[in-house]
Chain A
Amino acid sequence: MAMNVIIKGGRVIDPASGLDKVCDVVIDNGIIVKVGTAGKKTAGCSVIDASGKVVAPGLIDIHVHLREPGLEYKETILTGTEAAAAGGFTAVACMPNTKPINDNRAVTDYIVRKGRDEGAVRVYPIGAITKGSTGEELAEIGDMIEAGAVAISDDGKPVTSSVMMRRAMEYSRNFGITVVSHAEDMSLAEGGVMNEGALSTRLGLRGIPAIAEDIASARDILLAEYTGARLHLAHVSTAGTVRLIREAKQRGIAVTAETCPHYFTLTEAAVDGYNTNAKMNPPLRGEEDVAAIREALRDGTIDVIATDHAPHHYSEKDAEFDQAPFGIVGLETALSLTLSLVRDGVMSLSDALAALTTNPAKALGLPGGSLAVGSAADLVIIDLDAEWEVKPEKFRSKGRNTPFAGWKMKGRAAATIVDGKLVYQAEN
């Protein structure tokens, strides 16, 4: 039976309510029952000392690839959620590009069940927009939502037809779900493997121009405005798309947006030398783009930090640059990279945590993301001062594909708690 847990003496930050003070969090039967001063009676309670650390709502990553079913050699729901727990995440939303594609109730069911039975953290499937993500026919979206899908997306294989995207957005309104767009004009991006510019020209690699993202983002923003659908733009990487989102928000369009740690940390220069661990889609961009992404996080134009955690087998990345698959792992480095934004003065700690908790929850309409009394006790205890080095061989994820190998990081999850139970505790 579940025990009572008291998390004592931490700096409790709950961006959803604006709380930021040193106090206790009391958990009863997996539910937060008090945020304040715990009573003297601790008999029968498990006490976690959080003094000197930050206590926050469990992080929520609304953009991961768990690879199961079908691609278990890259990652499984078990290993992916263990990586999530190690990164301080208590919930992840997984993209539908599994094998088979999550475009029907049976696959959604499978992921929900596996997530519940084996997942270290909560798993929320995102269903495909179109059958097989081919962009031709709507998937059985209502069915998937009933089975537990939380949103729809054809991530990685964007819906090319504007009328199909229009229909998807219209249809999404009946179910009150968000449409997540991987915004990329495929005809402009065709064959591209990195950002288009002086560096791609020097390296002789086919470029993906920033406008491929901007044109598709503009289309989807206009469609969202026209249909009244709720749009979430995935992995924003360009200054142009930031401008479009800023303008859309000013006009009151229901759009939210995410970026990933690599887009506010690295430029395309990381690709030089044909580094396949710096190959992802959208690609790493130029310095102006990185500056624009950081500014957008600062002013709230971009709401959410997600990882686009995309594990691949090492042998797939150990290849010619244009042959290697897109994507990097991110669950175990995201929090530290976000905390460096705080140290750089880009965001306050509370705003940075909001981008990892309450904002992603709101973007997809998920429970959690706050420390409200009565909500499930999903929390992370963060050690802001812990210094560590990124060693991919130590990842919980099966993926080793990170451009941050060897980086010296500061700050990480000390413990992760789901439903009042410890699912991760850092080694000292």
Chain B
Amino acid sequence: MGFAARHLLGIEDLSREEIEGLLESSRSFKEVLRRDIKKVPAMRGKTVVNLFYEASTRTRTSFEIAGKRLSADVINVSVSTSSVVKGESLLDTARNIEALNPDVIVVRHSSSGAPHFLARSVQCSVVNAGDGSHEHPTQALLDAFTMLEHGKKLEGLKVAIIGDVAHSRVARSNIHLLGKMGAEIRLAGPSTLMPRGVERLPVQIFSCMEDALAEADVVMMLRIQMERQGKGYFPSLREYSRFYGLTSARLALAKEDALVMHPGPMNRGIEISADVADGPRSVIMDQVTNGLAVRMAVLFLVSGGSKE
């Protein structure tokens, strides 16, 4: 059974079969993206609203282009231009958007669980484009897609996820996805940025980044958010970089053909050195391209599409 749910709120709720279905469907759309004419009529007459409460270029643009390639009408509502600044609640904004009868609302919000709240309150489909520190399901799907595309098998794959796990929705969605698919997940980062109880997830935790990297097939670097500085999580960006930054010397500890991934936007020279980010093992730009295929699949499937 593939993916046939009305919403995509998180990876945690998905079965292995649903994940495989989404990845399979993404492969078909990736093929579309290689054509001369990159547009298909799969969502003609349908409306997708991108409701973004947090600044985002990559994800919003990706969903927008994905919708347009599917021939959907895509409307962007972002925090700066909407009535949010007038103090309207998420619920009221969502109800107003719903009154305009969209088929899918793609939501990004700083509150964990906001898409779940929305899904309970509206009739249309809801796609989570990142909620607080909770989940970023399309990111995990595009990460898995990228790994597969580079010839990796998820079962038994050694994936090192390095950095601010506590605040990272990317980390959580990847842990759920890779865990369900049988990968071996290794986490490393300062203990101040390791969330309480993380050991109850299917992960191994390393206090030393080098140990986590040893023989890794994939190295996934998490973005360090500048606003974490001065909050006691780590003494300085310089020291953070010194112990948890990915340099070519550290990358040499991983397997020779290891992939380097980053969800973006990168802080070059902090969590990842420029030569690694631009180096031969970096698949960071592939991640961005694949995001489009994955989001086309997600929009198509939640709005009731099927391959038949």
Contacts and interface: CB of A to CB of B under 8 A. Distances in A.
Interface of A: 196-207, 209, 273-274, 315, 318-323
B111 A323 contact: yes
A288 B121 CA distance: 34
A203 B196 contact: no
Interface string B128-158: 0001111100000000000000000000000
Interface stretch (B17-25, B197-205, B284-292): B197-205
7 contacts: A198-B197, A200-B195, A202-B201, A205-B113, A273-B116, A274-B116, A318-B121
Interface of A is mostly: loop
Contacts of A201: 166, 195-198, 200-201
B90 interface: yes
Interface string B152-179: 0000000000000010010010000000
Nearest to B198: A201
A323 B198 CA distance: 24
Contacts of A196: 196-197
B89 interface: yes
B233 interface: no
B91 interface: yes
Interface in B61-113: 89-91, 109, 111-113
Contacts of A315: 89
Given A201-B195, A274-B116, A322 B201 contact: no
A198 B201 CA distance: 8
B43 interface: no
Bin chain B's interface residue count. Answer: 20 to 34
Nearest to A190: B231
B49 interface: no
B298 interface: no
Contact of A204 (B90, B121, B131, B196): B131
A198 B117 contact: no
Most buried by B among A202, A206, A209: A202
A274 B113 contact: yes
A45 to B, nearest CB: 55
Which 10 pairs across A and B sit closest by C-beta, in order of nearness? A204-B134, A198-B197, A274-B113, A320-B111, A204-B133, A204-B112, A198-B200, A201-B195, A197-B197, A321-B113
B196 A200 contact: yes
B267 to A, nearest CB: 22
Given A202-B201, A322-B132, A209 B116 contact: no
B215 interface: no
A90 to B, nearest CB: 39
Contacts of B132: 204-205, 322
Nearest to B194: A201
Contacts of B169: 204
A321 B133 CA distance: 13
Given A202-B197, A274-B116, A321-B112, 14 more contacts: A197-B196, A198-B201, A199-B197, A201-B197, A202-B12, A203-B112, A203-B134, A204-B131, A204-B133, A205-B113, A207-B196, A274-B113, A320-B113, A322-B111
Nearest to A209: B196
Contacts of A200: 195-197
A321 B111 contact: yes
B91 A318 contact: yes
B301 interface: no
B196 A320 contact: no
A273 B201 CA distance: 18
A267 to B, nearest CB: 14
B251 to A, nearest CB: 28
A249 B77 CA distance: 59
A202 B166 CA distance: 10
B114 interface: yes
A285 to B, nearest CB: 13
A201 B201 CA distance: 9
Interface string B248-292: 000000000000000000000000000000000000000000000
A107 B96 CA distance: 41
B197 A322 contact: no
B67 to A, nearest CB: 25
Interface string B199-230: 01100000000000000000000000000000
Interface string B178-201: 000000000000000001111011
A325 B59 CA distance: 31
A242 B195 CA distance: 26
B109 A320 contact: yes
Contacts of B195: 200-201, 207
